[in-house]
Amino acid sequence: MELLNLLIILFIGGAAAWVGEHFSKGLSRWISLLFIAVAAVSLLEMLSNIPAPTFLKDPITKDPTTWLIHGRADWIPRFGISFELALDGLSLLLVVLTLFLGAVSVIASWDEIDKHQGFFQANIMWTLTGVIGVFIALDLILFFLFWEVMLVPMYLLIAIWGHEDKAKAAMKFFIFTQVSGLLMLLAMITLAIFVKDANGYWSFSYFDLLDNNLTSSLATFIMLGFFIGFTVKLPGFPFHTWLPDAHTQAPTAGSVILAGILLKTGAYGLIRFTVPLFPEASIAFAPIAILLGASGVVYGAILAFGQTDFKRLVAYSSVSHMGFVLLGVFAWNALAIQGAVMQLVAHGLSTAALFMIAGALQHRLHTRDLQKMGGLWQSMPRMGALAMFFIAASLGLPGMGNFIAEFLVLAGLFQVYPWLAVVSSAGLITGAIYSLKLIQESFQGAPDDTLTPPDFSALAMSAMIAMLIGLIVLGIFPQLVLDISQPVINALTSEITL
């Protein structure tokens, strides 16, 4: 159970950060970075023990021995519940993204959080623990446990360290995700009951549930439970309404984790569970899902254009960009799914950076209102240049990872639903408009001589430059990501045809 080490390291790191606050102010931040680094080294050590052919060979979805890493131990054998963890190329990309943006979130909170720093860092680390658990758990009950674990510390991050309307935003976030999560749990239990009746034994293992032979109507009912649970977290239209409030009120580190990592758990669930477990029901539902995705792309972009709050504008842009993921998943061809996976990584970097800029501005100016900004480039040239880059990346400028992602999704979607691909491309045009509005109203224009906020520190610049390099590398050398996820996607699309 090598993968268990990652979870233990991060969980202990959270406890250590909480205790570290009592010894020295600021020590908890260094403890968090240290344990994230230790977790990354542990992951690299695990990967170094995997023979190269295993990375290149397409895994068999239903055969855990063909995955990169797999481990299973009985937990509650009476009901077929096990402690089953596994890693393939898809989950590997998302685990790496989680560790990287976890470090970025710690840096983002460096000068912002003064109250209860240790407990703040503990909640960051425990959120990372839950998220990585989601990406590697293949027993559905264990998966649901980690799904719930990541919600509680995120709720606390918003409710304790959020901004003026934090209590309402935190409660709305928790209610939406908890209700949808319970619906998903009901679907999991229902699936296990019917598989038990067919096979004669209890099991919540992903591999045992793939061949479930459910009737068409029952499969559709259970699939919708999974779909709603994951789409709320994505978030997809029309289940997105919790996101703008949560982002607006969350501290900077909370927004970085929420946009860069937590939203990706919903997309991962759609790719890993919803379609593979219910292929025939997904075939029937695909036109509706793609219509929702296209609506989200356009709707999110239009609402983003209408915002005057920096963070709400970026939040609605996330609704638009994550709509491309829904399009890619239910187009279900190799091109579209590759685009969806690339979007998870590229959007994680670009939007996390924009929220870090938004948080830095709010911390310095005590406002998120674009109408009270303007001309900030003169006093903050480093932040202005970085904002220009990440806004350009977010709108899909060629040469950056976001362009590769959205192009692949639209190209794959065009093969199956050409008119919806044309409609979805309208989101790119609107995206350019609201992106230009964002940079113009915040950093361009006549400077206000009464505003002389400090620029990014060297530590913040290091995090921003790392994300900048990542997006350029994804745009110029996309095969670095595509080669890792390609074996998994080949296996899924060859074994499951929509």
- Residues 85, 89, 91, 92, Cα dihedral to 10°: 90
Mean pLDDT of the 155-178 span: 89
Strand partners, 85: 71, 137
Task: With a cut of 70, say whether residue 498 has pLDDT above it.
Answer: no
**Per-residue confidence at 448, pLDDT binned at 50, 70, 90?**
low
Cβ-contact 213, 274 below 8 angstroms:
no
Give the residue, 392 or 444, on which the prediction is more confident. 392
Locate the DSSP E strands across 105-262: none
| Same domain flag for 333 and 271 | no
Do residue 204 and residue 91 come from a single domain? yes
All residues at 6 or more sequence positions from 197 whose CB lies less than 8 Å from its CB, including other chains: none
- Give the pLDDT score at 453: 76
Q: Do the beta carbons of residue 117 and residue 169 sit within 8 Å? A: no
Separation between Cα atoms, residue 235 and residue 320, nearest integer Å: 9
Contact 401, 321 (CB under 8 A): no
In the predicted structure, residue 2 carries a pLDDT above the cut 90: no
Q: Please name every residue paired with 72 in a beta bridge, in sequence order, or none if there are none.
A: 84
Helix 89-108 / helix 117-136 crossing angle, nearest 10 deg = 170
Three-state secondary structure call for residue 87: strand
Provide the pairing of β-strand 81-87 with 69-76: antiparallel
List the one residue out of 414, 396, 413 whose CA is nearest residue 405. Answer: 396
Question: If you average pLDDT over each of 60-64, 113-117, 274-278, which comes out highest?
Answer: 274-278
H-helix or E-strand spanning residue 86: strand 81-87
Do 268 and 108 contact (CB within 8 A), yes or no? no
Using CA atoms, how far apart are residues 183 and 189, in angstroms rounded to an integer? 10
- Confidence bin at 230 (pLDDT 50/70/90): very high
If one compares 119 and 200, the residue with the highest pLDDT of the two is 119
**CB-CB neighbours of 398 under 10 Å:** 10
Query: Given pLDDT bands bounded at 50, 70 and 90, which one contains residue 449?
Result: low
CB 43 within 8 A of CB 61: no
Please list, in sequence order, all residues whose beta carbon lies within 8 angstroms of the beta carbon of residue 328, skipping any fewer than 6 positions away.
Answer: 336, 337, 338, 339, 340, 341, 343, 408, 409, 412, 413
Give residue 152's pLDDT: 92
At what angle are helices 89-108 and 458-476 packed, to 10 degrees? 150
The beta strand positions in 358-427, using DSSP E, are none
| Mean pLDDT calculated for residue range 256-269 | 92
Mean of pLDDT over the chain: 88
Structure tokens at 350: 């670009």
pLDDT-based confidence at residue 497 (cuts at 50, 70, 90): low
pLDDT at 313 over 70: yes
pLDDT of residue 465: 94
The answer as to whether 62 is a domain residue is yes
* pLDDT, position 20: 87
Whether the predicted pLDDT of 56 surpasses 80: no
Are 483 and 397 within one domain? yes
408 confidence band (pLDDT: 50, 70, 90): very high
- Answer yes or no: is 329 within a domain: yes
Domain boundary among 250, 277, 304: 277
* Residue 214, C-beta contacts closer than 8 angstroms, at least 6 positions apart: 191, 194, 222, 278
Q: Is there a single domain that holds both residue 296 and residue 428?
A: yes
How far is 33 from 170, CA to CA, in rounded Å?
26
Query: What mean pLDDT do residues 139-150 have?
Result: 94
| Residue 57 pLDDT | 77
pLDDT reported for residue 101: 95
pLDDT of amino acid 434: 85
Q: Are 244 and 148 in contact (CB under 8 A)?
A: no
In a domain, 15, yes or no: yes
Amino acid type, 335:
L
In a domain, 431, yes or no: yes
Q: For tokens 């068999």, what's the residue?
A: 60
State which residues form the domain around 189: 1-277
- At 197, the pLDDT band (50, 70, 90 cuts) reads confident
19 with 54, same domain? yes
Give the confidence band of 154 by pLDDT, cuts at 50, 70, 90.
very high
Per-residue pLDDT for 355 more than 80?
Answer: yes
d(CA 219, CA 212): 9
pTM: 0.94
Domain assignment present for 457: yes
Each residue's pLDDT tens digit, 451-477: 677 778 888 899 999 999 999 999 999
Same domain (yes/no): 258, 377: no
330 and 247 share one domain: no
Identify whether the C-beta of residue 291 lies closer than 8 Å to the C-beta of residue 413.
Answer: no
Q: How many domains does the chain have?
A: 2
Name the domain boundary from 217, 249, 277.
277
DSSP for 116-137 reads: SHHHHHHHHHHHHHHHHHHHHB
The answer, yes or no, to whether residue 206 has pLDDT greater than 80, is: yes
Residue 458's contacts (CB-CB under 8 Å, 6 or more residues apart) are none
Q: Give the pLDDT mean for 254-267.
A: 91
Residue 284 lies in a domain: no
Which of 225, 242, 277 lies at the terminal end of a domain, its last residue? 277
364 with 484, same domain?
A: yes
The confidence band for 336, taking pLDDT boundaries of 50, 70 and 90, is very high
Task: Answer yes or no: do 272 and 306 share one domain.
Answer: no
SS3 assignment, position 307: coil
**End-to-end Cα separation, the chain, in angstroms:** 34
pLDDT for res 241: 86
Indicate whether 167 pLDDT > 70: yes
**Helix axes of 418-442 and 310-331: crossing angle, nearest 10 degrees:** 160
pLDDT for the residue 9: 95
Outline where 21-108 has alpha helix (H).
Answer: 27-48, 52-56, 89-108
Averaged pLDDT, 419-426: 86
Query: Which residue type does 261 have?
Result: I
Residue 285 in any domain: the answer is no
- 372-393 average pLDDT score: 86
* DSSP 8-state class, residue 202: -
Residues 325 and 258 grouped into a single domain: no
Q: How confident is the model at residue 450 (pLDDT cuts 50, 70, 90)?
A: low
Judge if 86 and 172 occupy the same domain: yes
- Let me know how long the chain is: 498
Question: Confidence class of residue 493 from pLDDT cuts 50, 70 and 90?
Answer: confident
- 310 shares a domain with 163: no
Report the percent of the chain where pLDDT is more than 70: 98
The verdict on residue 282 lying in a domain is no
